Structures are given as C-alpha cells and as structure tokens.
Amino acid sequence: MTFSPELEAKFADLVTHYPEGRQRAALIPMLMFGQEEVGSITPEFMEEVAKRLGLNTMQVDEVVGYYSMLHKKGMGKYHVQVCTNVACMLRGGAELYDHACHKLGLGHKEVSADGVISLEEVECMGACSWAPAIQVNYDFHHEVTTEQLDTILEGLKK
Amino acid sequence: MALVNVTINGVQVQAENGALLIEVAKQNGIEIPAFCYYEGMSLQAACRMCLVEVEKAPKLMAGCTLPVAEGMVVRTESEPVVKARKTTLEFLLSNHPLDCPVCDKGGECELQDMTFKYGVGESRFTEIKQHVPEKQWSPVVFYDAPRCILCYRCVRVCNEGMGVGALGVSYRGVNAEIIPSNGDHLECDECGSCIDICPVGSLTSGIYRYKTRPWEMEHVGTVCTHCSNGCKTTLGVRNNEIVRGNNRDKSGINGEFLCVKGRYAFDFTQHPERLQTPLIRNAAGELEEASWSRALKLVAEKFKALAGPDFGVIGSTRTTNEENYLLQKFARTALGTASIDHHRTGDVVTLIDSLSGKTGQLATAEDLYTSKAVLVVASDLSQQQPLLANKIRANVRHHKAAVYTVTPGPVREDKIARKAIRIAEADSLAGVEQLREALSKEAELVIIYGDAIQGEKVRQLVAFGESLGIPVKYVALVDYANSRGALDMGLLPDLGPGYHATAPGRSLQQMLDDPKLAALWVVGSNPLKGGKSLASTNAFVVVQDLFLTETAQRADVVLPAASAYEKNGTVTNVCGQVQRLKKGIETVGSKADLAIIGLLARGMGVNLGKVDADAIFAEIAASVPGYNQLPMPVILTGGAVQTHPVNGGVPPSSVPGIIASARDTLFTTGSLTRYSKILNEVLEKPGALYS
Amino acid sequence: MANSISEILGSAAAIAKGMSVTLKEMMSPTVTEDYPDAPAKFQERYRGVHVLQRDEAGLEKCVACFLCAAACPSNCIYIEADENTEKKRISGGERYASVYNIDYSRCIFCGFCVEACPTDAITHGHQFEIASYNTSTLIYRKEQMLVNIAPNVKAPALPVETTGGH
C-alpha cells in the first residue's frame, strides 16, 4: 500500500516521537491520519500499519474496534458528530441528535446516499461548557439549537 | 533467589522474592480466586477477582500481579476482600445470562463455582441484559458473546501458547467482545485451546456442543493416536461413544495442549465405513462378509501352509508396542520369515548408532521446554509436530530460549528464532554449518531433524553437534503415534527388538517388488496407497485394518481391527517416551490386533504364551534393551518414561530401506484422519497462516 | 334387685350410644375409596408417574440439563441431548432431550428430580397403575410422559416433519 509523500513524512516523523521499542504508540495517530487520506480503515491499511509497527493485524483490529472515531467503512464528506454525553444530554443533546436523524434520514454511523453527509452519535468531545455541542469534521459548533442545526446541515448540502 | 517472609492469613510462609502472590498462596494451600490469571500466560489483571488485603496498602491489591516482598502481610478472606469478591461477581453477572442448564460449561464452569462459593444470590442490576446472537467462527468453534467475561485467556493462549494470534478483543464497554481473525470467521490452527481455556461457556466446541454434561461422561486418560508426539488426551465417553477429547487435568507430557487432531479427530472410530466383520475374497473375486471363526480358520491354515522365507510381514506405525513385539516374534519364530518391515518415517536407527557409547543424548519433550537453545532442521514443526513446537514456544516465552531454524520454506518458528536460515532440504547441513558460531556460544542445545537428514547425513549432523563443545541432545522426527515403537520393537528386516542384528530379510519395498512373495500379512498399514501395486500377483494377502484401504482392497482376507482408543497397551512417542493406552470404548465387530495375532497363533497351534497387553509388556521389559528398568508405577499412572536404547553400536543395515515422512500437516489427512468427518470440515490450506 | 335393674339400663344406654354413632355415620358422606370400581382420589402433591410439561407455546420445557438424572438417587433417568435448530425446534432452550427415559422398576418416587428441575419441566402426575408382568414395559419413554399440546394453544410454526414430537 502506498501513501502520499506528505503522509509518509508524517508517519516517519510519528515513530520518532516514542522511545525505541515503543513504536506501537504511534498506532492511533497513524490510523487517524491514514483514515483521512484513505477514507476509511480498510483491511489492507490495517495490515500495512501492523507491518510498519511490528504488530499483528489482530492488534490493530482491536484498536480500530475500540475507538469510535476510527471507521472501518467510509464516512461522508461532512461527518456530523452529535454529542449526547451527560452535559450535552442535559442541555438537549439527545433531542438534537434525534432531530438530526430525522432531518437527514440517517442513523448512527450512516452515510447519505450521495456520500456527502454522515451522522454519528458521539461521546464527550470536551465542549461541555458550551453544550450541546456538535462537530462537523474538525469544526466545533457550540450551544446548538435545532434551528441552528438546520442551518448548518443546509449549508453542508450545498 | 532470596527468600522473603510473607504472612498470609496469619500463617508465616517463605517464598521467593518477587514471586506472584497468587502463586505463593497456592503453594501454601490458600486459594485466591481468579479468572484472568492463568499459569504460564502473561499477566492481564482484567477480572478483579483476586483482590486481597495487604497491610499498609491503601486499597485492595490484585493478587495475580503482586510480587511478594519481605514482611508483607496479606489477608485473603477478610471482610473487605469477601465483599469485593461479591461485588466483582455481581458485576460479572450483570450481563451474563443465567442459562447454566443449557450451557455446555455448566458443571465445570469457573464462574458457576465462584458464584456458588462467594457470590450473592441476588443482583441489584435491574437493566435488561444485552443479548447478542451466538456466532459460529469455524466448524469447531462457537462464540456466545453475552456469556463472555472478557478475561482474555483465549486471546493470550492463541497468541502466546499457539503463536497464532487469531483472537482479539474489540469494541468497548458493554459491547466489548472477542473477535476472530477474519472478520466473521477464524483462520487458525483450529486447535481448540481457546475453548478449553475459557472459564465460562462462551467458547464452545462444535463437536461436543449440547451433547451431554460433564458429569455424565466417563473420563479415560489415554494417548492420542494421530501424530508421533504422544499427547495425553482425556476422552469423555458416554454410551460407548467418544464425545470429547481434551486434557483438562493437565497431566502427561503435553499439559493441556492438544492440536486439532487430538481434540476433535476421534470421530473416525464412529465412521460408517468402519469395518465390522471380516471379509473373505470369494470365488467370484469379491470380498464378502464372513464370520470371525471362518476367517481366522482360513488365515491360520494358509499361514501354516505358506510359512517360510517368502512370507512378508508389514507392521504398523500406530499399533501398540505389545502388538508390534508379538507380530515380529510370531513372524520370526512361527512363520519362519525375516521379511518384516513397516513404513519408516525418520532415521532413528542411524542416530542411535551415531550416539553409541554416549548416554543421555536423546531429548525428551520436556527438554524442548527447558533447554537453553533449540535447532530445528528441515521440519515444519508447528504443522507436523505440534506438541514439540508448542514446547519450544513455551520455552521461548518462559526461559527466553534461543531458537534456530534451518528449513526449506518459512515456518512459524521463524518468528521466535534468533536466526532463520532458508535453504533447500538437501543442503540443510550447509545451513547448519552457517550457525556454527552462534550455536557454539550457547550453553546447551537440542537438535531436531526431519526425514531429509538420514543415513550419512545423520552421522554428519551428530559430528557437527559433538564438535560444538556443548551438551547436545537429539530428536529424530518420525510421523506416527508409534513409529518409534515399531523401530524399538524390531519391525525391521535385519534388526530385532532393541536394534540387535537378526538374519536379513526383505524391506517393505522389496516385498512389494518381489514376484516370488508367497504371502503378505499387513497389520495396520497401507503400503499400496497412492496407486502402488504388488508385484506378486498370486500372493495370499491378509490385511488387518480399521477401514477398507487400498491395500485391504487387494487382500484375500480382511480382518477388522480395533483403534488405539479401543485397546490397552503402550506406545512410544517421537522422543522415545513410553506411555500407556487405556481402552476408552468397546469395539463393535472388530478385534484388537493383539487378540487377532493370538487367535491366529492358536489356530496354527503355536504357543505364544499368555496373549494379553500386560503379559506381553512384561516380556518386552524383560527382553528388549531400553525397555528394561522402566519405572512401571509412572507408566501405569499415566506418566511418560523415556527408554534408554542400546548404548552401543547398531549393526549396519545390509537391507536398503526407504525412509520417507508423509509430511502430514495439521490439516492434511493421514490414514486415520481422512475418516474423521470433523477434520475434513475444518480442512484448510496449510501455510495460509504465514502469509 | 337394684343391681340387675341398673345393669339392664346400663346395657341399654351402651347400645344406644353405640347405635347413635352408627346412625350418625350413616347420615354423613362416605370417606372410603371405592377403588378399583371408582377412580382413586389424590392430594395435589401425590407423587405418581412423572409428567413432562410444555410451555405456553407448546414447546417442551425440558432443556436436557441432566440435573434430574444427577439428582436421582436410584439412577433411573436416562437422557440424550440434542441441539435445537432453526428448522427443528423442540424446546424453549438451545438444547432439548432427544431421548428421555425413566425406569420405573428403579424409581422410588422421591421427587428429587422435580425439585432439581430448573425449568419445571418434570412434575409428578397422579398416575400410579403401572404394575406389569414384564419389567421392560416399566421403562417409560419421553412420548409416554409428555403432556399433549393443550387444545387452546396454537402449536408453534414448525416444519411438518417435527410436529407432535418424534
């Protein structure tokens, strides 16, 4: 499997961050960056990462299954993540998620037919002070109301 | 190692500094309950069951990961500990279904036992338990996620014990579960260690599922009849049917290790094609069913008439030592022939000759676990000699042993090897020579070699080993359950029991090729496999076997024989370790080879003395060098004792024989395993694991 | 004289007393069982020949856990278990008893099996007339002990070949 030169450089840099023999610590960032380029974490990608870090594929598979931000199937161009953890839940996160589901016609980790938007119900994103929070790709939206959500989603569809 | 004083429950005990508390407690008769801790595996500390109170420690400590230290005061049954155990069990049971009556593990379940001993009767959890449908990962492995308590034992045994790493844990929280290597199914050795090691009924065996309950079975400790490693297996027998094979009591040379064949491939005993009556070739040239008395009478008469030097006898690599001994004795005395041979699969004879005058240089299976270095020459151990491979892996894990491989293709041992040399089989010795420097720095060495090393090459290999200047032990690999015993008992054309010289006769190939051969008696062997034919078209052929093999189809009389699970006796494994077979089930229609030989002798009016496994073994012990002075109590109680073959030169062979291993892997089928339904179902492409 | 009169009166009183009991009992209902001319009556808890129960859906309650056989002090219960499949569903659990025999020449009607049963599948019925000249008829098979599917229960949707047990 081949990656872009930028990603290769990033990978090469990542492994130097950790002491000799602890290179497996680079696993999660490698998967995160790789996911962005590859689109999803494919079996070949897992094998490649395992090979580079001297792990077996099963160990990579375990990590991918554990972390909700790592996806085995591709997500939409805009990945909408709605937090329903305690703080957001108290401020209407669950209703916001239900609204998004209804509006988009999508469920948890589902992608729209045109592949533009995907939805995910996530755990705490660390934005409790501005709950309820949503995240579209890496952009935060704070104290979101259903109306604001509609505007954001409309904006994405264009 | 320094000893430290530890107080456990008010009793002062001494223990090695740094030993794990759970082990120290066990050695002093105190049980600290645990699910995830497993002797010999890496530490996990996942189940929290082993929490104990340690003085001066602020919180309860996990006994499975706590090394003991001087002055440590531990309480394992105090009130906080008991309370913690109850809570832990309550948590473990929070999503565990209470379906013990239908669960296969019920009756031998560790969670059941612990709940019974420590658990509370009621749970404070009122939530609905999360149900996930059961999954089938392979024909023999089923996984029921709700029952799983995530102790990681299966993951560790697969990764560390087997070196396969086909299991992992994924997802998290209440959704966490064990995942197989290939998405929805397993690609692995299918050894079933994960099922055996599971403390609950989460992993269940495809062949044993829902058949019976543990207390309903009779447990018969015997020896696996498949490969030459001689693993002890405990057969679970109910209604004269073997329903389970495992070795839960961890006795014998293999501990609890068994491969796919040992654990599942006992079902050949129930195969519908199993012969149940003797067959006699009638006037029309077809084999037809006949009574035992008629068949035995016919064979005895013919044997009497045809006895002489042109009589050929081919023995078996899976019948017992007693049968092999009696067969060659009967052939050499009553039948008056020297043409006795069997399918030879490894050059043990030359090894013993090369080591003449030396003692203690034949390795046992335990040596592979304790030796500081191991050299594997021209053999794919994990596929062909699974127990020996397992011992080496455990040795690397526990003792950091140095492993060296010299093989024609990639093998699983490469992963743990210090040096792996890829070289054609014919040039193996050149490969070994490349390791001279590394090997001579080791403290000791065990050399294991396959059938590519034979004759003069064995002498060269031994010369190489002896020139290293370190203690070296050897294992000559052979294929089948009693291949070694067949050699020791003298099923050879010019060597009698204990490798003493006898008048030379024909080798196996010479018998097949000799048009003058008057009769051929094949006991538990299939020399005509693979389209070979018998040159002597008029020869009277008698075959004793379980199935109508290619050879049996050519026979004039076929006598149905009992399998190793249906008789008593002893077998000798690849390392020369003698173990006892114990009859698990009764035969239907067939007879043990020993009984058949005895009945034929009686029919011919030959007195062989008392024909009974114990009596013959006594005769072997009295007359065969190497088998004298074996400590009988060890053998009788299911232990293994290594024989000490002749400590002197073996007479050079004047008969050219063929030594060729069948190279059967875990999944390719040998003469018995091709009749195992379950083994054929799990049939996988060998080598797929190394990609 | 006085002696003989009191004797007569005393005897008459005794007869009258005895007859009064007789007359009273003549009026009250009969307690004597008229067995075998009339069927015998039982207390509810009487332990007779076992009955294997079915659940509301008509499936067998027995999941072949072997606990009755384990509890049995006279070792008279014999079970063979098999797995329920999608097409062939006999019991509510994953497993069912393909063979369930009780040897009544050994059974001592102690009720331990009933007590051990985790699914209330085995119970004691009130049938007791099982004497036989031939002991082999005393081994009861599952079919002889299993209750019929109640008429108001719609039998579970099963493929034709498996309805109505074996």
The answer to whether A and C touch (≥3 CB pairs < 8 Å) is no
According to DSSP, residue B477 is labeled -
**Taking CA B572 as the corner, what is the angle to CA B571 and CA B578, rounded to the nearest 5 degrees?**
90
User: Both B354 and B472 in a single domain?
Assistant: yes
Q: Coil, strand, or helix at residue A139?
A: strand
Q: What is the pLDDT of residues B377-415, one digit of tens each?
A: 999 999 899 999 999 999 999 999 999 999 999 999 999
Which residue out of B170, B181, B182 would a mutagenesis test of the A interface target, given it has the greatest number of A Cβ atoms within 10 Å? B170
Count of CB atoms situated within 10 Å of the CB of B601: 21
Q: What is the pLDDT of residue B657?
A: 81
Domain ranges of chain A: 5-66, 78-157
Angstrom distance (rounded) from CA B562 to CA B585: 10
User: Both B85 and B41 in a single domain?
Assistant: yes
Q: What is the pLDDT of residue B556?
A: 96
Closest to C51 measured CA to CA, from C126, C136, C132: C126
Whole-number percent of chain B with pLDDT over 90 = 79
Instruction: Name which of C69, C80, C94 is nearest B102 (Cβ-Cβ).
Output: C94
User: Both B377 and B390 in a single domain?
Assistant: yes
Instruction: Kindly report the nearest CA distance between residue B97 and chain C, in angstroms.
Output: 12
Start-to-end C-alpha separation, chain B: 43
Residue B580 forms beta bridges with which residues? Answer: B570
Q: Which two tokens stand for residue B106?
A: 């019920």
Cβ atoms of residues B608 and B594 within 8 Å:
no
Instruction: Name which of C66, C82, C93 is nearest B213 (Cβ-Cβ).
Output: C66
- Omega before A132 cis (within 30°)? yes
Residue B625 covered by a domain:
no
Angstrom distance (rounded) from CA B61 to CA B56: 11
Listed residues B447, B477, B507: the one ending a domain: B477
Q: Which residue of chain B is at minimal alpha-carbon distance from A56?
A: B165
Q: Coil, strand, or helix at residue C112?
A: helix
Mention every residue, 6+ apart, whose C-beta is less than 8 A from residue B608.
B326, B329, B330, B334, B597, B598, B601
Residues of chain C falling short of pLDDT 50: 159-166
- Compute the count of residue pairs across chains A and B with CB atoms less than 8 Å apart: 27
How many domains does the structure of chain B reveal? 3
Angstrom distance (rounded) from CA C78 to CA C69: 7
Q: Does A62 touch chain B (CB under 8 A)?
A: yes
Task: Tell me if A66 and B171 make a contact (CB, 8 A cut-off).
Answer: yes
Which residue has tokens 């009788």? B636
C-alpha distance from residue B501 to each of B444, B462, B494 (Å): 34, 23, 6
Whole-number percent of chain B with pLDDT over 70 = 98
Task: Tell me if A58 and B181 make a contact (CB, 8 A cut-off).
Answer: yes
Within 8 A of B167 by CB-CB distance, chain A residues are: 58
CATH of the domain spanning A5-66? 1.10.10
CATH 3.30.70.3270 fits C50-154, yes or no: yes
Listed residues B421, B451, B477: the one ending a domain: B477
Angstrom distance (rounded) from CA B207 to CA B136: 12
Q: What is the pLDDT of residues B305-361, one digit of tens each?
A: 999 999 999 999 999 999 999 999 999 999 999 999 999 999 999 999 999 888 889
Domain at B374, CATH number: 3.40.228.10
Q: What is the pLDDT of residue C96?
A: 93
Q: What is the pLDDT of residues B209-240, one digit of tens each?
A: 999 999 999 999 999 999 999 999 999 999 99
Instruction: Name which of B165, B169, B170 is nearest A56 (Cβ-Cβ).
Output: B165
Q: What is the pLDDT of residues B91-139, one digit of tens each?
A: 999 999 999 999 999 999 999 999 999 887 888 988 889 889 999 999 8
Average pLDDT over chain B reads 91
- Omega before B651 cis (within 30°)? no
Amino acid, res. A102: H
Within 8 A of A66 by CB-CB distance, chain B residues are: 170-172
Cβ atoms of residues A1 and A39 within 8 Å:
no
* CB < 8 Å from A in window 110-169 of B: 159, 165-169
- Secondary structure of B550-566 in HEC code, one letter for each residue: HHHHHCCEEEEECCHHH
For chain B, helix (H) and strand (E) counts, in that order, are 22, 28
Residue B538 covered by a domain:
no
Which residue has tokens 């009591």? B249
Q: What is the pLDDT of residue A137?
A: 87
Cβ atoms of residues B100 and B113 within 8 Å:
no
Listed residues B206, B224, B259: the one ending a domain: B206
Q: What is the pLDDT of residue B669?
A: 60
Cβ atoms of residues B266 and B246 within 8 Å:
no
Q: What is the pLDDT of residues B142-173, one digit of tens each?
A: 999 999 999 999 999 999 999 988 999 998 88
Cβ atoms of residues B163 and B416 within 8 Å:
yes
Q: What is the pLDDT of residue B445?
A: 96
What dihedral angle (degrees, nearest 10) is formed by the CA atoms of C89, C95, C99, C100? -110
Domain at B102, CATH number: 3.30.70.20
User: Both B201 and B104 in a single domain?
Assistant: yes
Q: Which two tokens stand for residue A150?
A: 């509609």
Where on the phi/psi map is residue B256: left (φ > 0), alpha (ψ -120 to 50), or beta?
Answer: alpha
Q: What is the pLDDT of residue B668?
A: 64
User: Both B449 and B378 in a single domain?
Assistant: yes
Instruction: Kindly report the nearest CA distance between residue A48 and chain B, in angstroms.
Output: 13
C-alpha distance from residue B637 to each of A142, B222, B232, B616, B640 (Å): 74, 11, 12, 19, 9
Q: Which domain holds residue B116?
A: 97-206
Identify the residue with better confidence: B387 or B183: B387
Which residue out of B155, B169, B174, B412 would a mutagenesis test of the A interface target, given it has the greatest number of A Cβ atoms within 10 Å? B169
Output the pTM of the full model: 0.88
Residue B191 covered by a domain:
yes
Q: Which residue of chain C is at minimal alpha-carbon distance from B238?
A: C80
Closest to B491 measured CA to CA, from B643, B334, B327, B614: B327
Alpha helix ranges (H) inside B189-319: 193-197, 260-264, 292-306
Query: What is the pLDDT averaged over residues B589-598?
Result: 95
* CB < 8 Å from B in window 66-85 of C: 66-67, 69-70, 80-83
User: How long is chain B?
Assistant: 691
Mention every residue, 6+ apart, whose C-beta is less than 8 A from residue B236.
B208, B212, B214, B217, B218, B219, B242, B243, B244, B245, B246
At residue B684 the predicted structure's pLDDT band, cuts being 50, 70 and 90, is low
Residue B222 forms beta bridges with which residues? Answer: B233
Task: Tell me if B170 and A61 make a contact (CB, 8 A cut-off).
Answer: yes
Residue B383 covered by a domain:
yes
H or E element in which residue C100 lies: strand C95-103
Which residue has tokens 């069912």? C96
Q: What is the pLDDT of residues B101-113, one digit of tens each?
A: 999 999 999 999 9
Q: Does B188 touch chain A (CB under 8 A)?
A: no
Task: Tell me if B168 and A59 make a contact (CB, 8 A cut-off).
Answer: yes
DSSP result, B140-178 = SEEE-GGG-----HHHHIIIIISS---EEEES-GGG-EE
Residue B526 covered by a domain:
no
Name the packing angle between helices B593-604 and B292-306 (round to 10°): 60
Q: What is the pLDDT of residues B468-488, one digit of tens each?
A: 999 999 999 999 999 999 999
Q: What is the pLDDT of residue B586?
A: 94
Task: Tell me if B170 and A64 make a contact (CB, 8 A cut-off).
Answer: yes
User: Both B52 and B170 in a single domain?
Assistant: no
Task: Tell me if C63 and B101 make a contact (CB, 8 A cut-off).
Answer: yes
At C156, phi and psi to the nearest 5? -60, 150
Q: What is the pLDDT of residues A12-61, one digit of tens each?
A: 999 899 998 898 999 999 999 999 888 899 999 999 999 999 888 899 99
Q: Which residue of chain B is at minimal alpha-carbon distance from C85?
A: B210
User: Both B118 and B72 in a single domain?
Assistant: no
Residue B682 covered by a domain:
no
Within 8 A of B101 by CB-CB distance, chain C residues are: 63, 65, 67, 93, 118-119
Q: Does A151 touch chain B (CB under 8 A)?
A: no
Task: Tell me if C63 and B100 make a contact (CB, 8 A cut-off).
Answer: no
Instruction: Name which of C67, C95, C119 is nearest B210 (Cβ-Cβ).
Output: C95
CATH of the domain spanning A78-157? 3.40.30.10
At residue B527 the predicted structure's pLDDT band, cuts being 50, 70 and 90, is very high
Instruction: Kindly report the nearest CA distance between residue C114 and chain B, in angstroms.
Output: 14
Rounded to an integer, what is the distance from CA B438 to the centroid of its chain?
Answer: 31
Q: Is B688 a residue whose pLDDT tops 60?
A: no
Sign, CA torsion C19/C23/C26/C28: negative
Cβ atoms of residues B509 and B530 within 8 Å:
no
Task: Tell me if B210 and C64 make a contact (CB, 8 A cut-off).
Answer: yes
According to DSSP, residue A91 is labeled T
